[in-house]
Amino acid sequence: MSTRIIDLTATLRDGIPVYPGDPPFRKSWHTIYEEAGVNVAKLEMSAHAGTHVDVPRHFLEQGADLLALPPHLFLGEAIAIDVPKRPGEEITPADFAHADIRASDIVLFRTGWEERSGTPRFFADDWPGFTPEAIDALISKGVKGIGGDLASVDSPAASQNGCPAHKKTLAAGLPIFEALTNLREVVGRRFFFVGLPLKIEGGEASPIRAVAILAEV
């Protein structure tokens, strides 16, 4: 048996759209080879730029930070579920009532928003999020993490309303994987997901290089 690796990560580059109000992503040169004999980049960014993971410290003052969370929380058996959504629509329990979700799965949702990845349209319109009932249903299934091709797990309307999807998920101790791409390549399949964060003391989120590892018979 061999494996195939699908990259689920958006490209970080100057000018990529970021969450409204967040600082822009900027890569500049601290030193360049021409002058100093070595290239050293300087990165300025929100911890939520591009494909990233949120951990409890994001919304809970005493919540676990990246240092407190072991690597195994950010990888494992996963399933990707196709839930096509238009602007203003939410992910509800009915969307995954018949999905093969198992305890300890990392559950990823493809709404189609990934088609906007890397464009200003990613944070335009009312992106889809999760209803509080959907989060409750996933937590009660014993899942290990949730995520998707979403700009945020809370829609703009839910964000105005205190970000219930973030708060419920993080209070349950589950990582949230946001702004994944290429989920179209893995919907309906089971695979091994890796979305490891950087080890940032006090960190509430981190960019990740997310991949799906598929077993090919």
For Zn ion, the binding residues in 137-166 under the rule CB under 5 A are none
Min separation Cβ 21 and Zn ion, Å: 13
Query: What string marks each residue from 112 to 141 as x (binds Zn ion by CB under 5 A) or -?
Result: ------------------------------
d(CA 213, CA 211): 6
Radius of gyration of the chain (CA): 17
Residue 48 found at the interface with Zn ion (CB under 5 A): yes
> DSSP E strands: which ranges in the chain?
2-7, 26-31, 40-44, 52-54, 75-82, 106-110, 145-148, 176-178, 190-194, 205-207, 211-216
Query: What string marks each residue from 173 to 212 as x (binds Zn ion by CB under 5 A) or -?
Result: -----x----------------------------------
d(CA 169, CA 133): 11
Min separation Cβ 137 and Zn ion, Å: 21
DSSP 197: B
Please choose, out of 8-16, 22-30, 31-39, 42-50, the segment that lies near Zn ion by the rule CB under 5 A. Answer: 42-50
Min separation Cβ 171 and Zn ion, Å: 15
- Residues forming the active site: 58
**Binding residues for Zn ion, per CB under 5 A?**
48, 54, 178
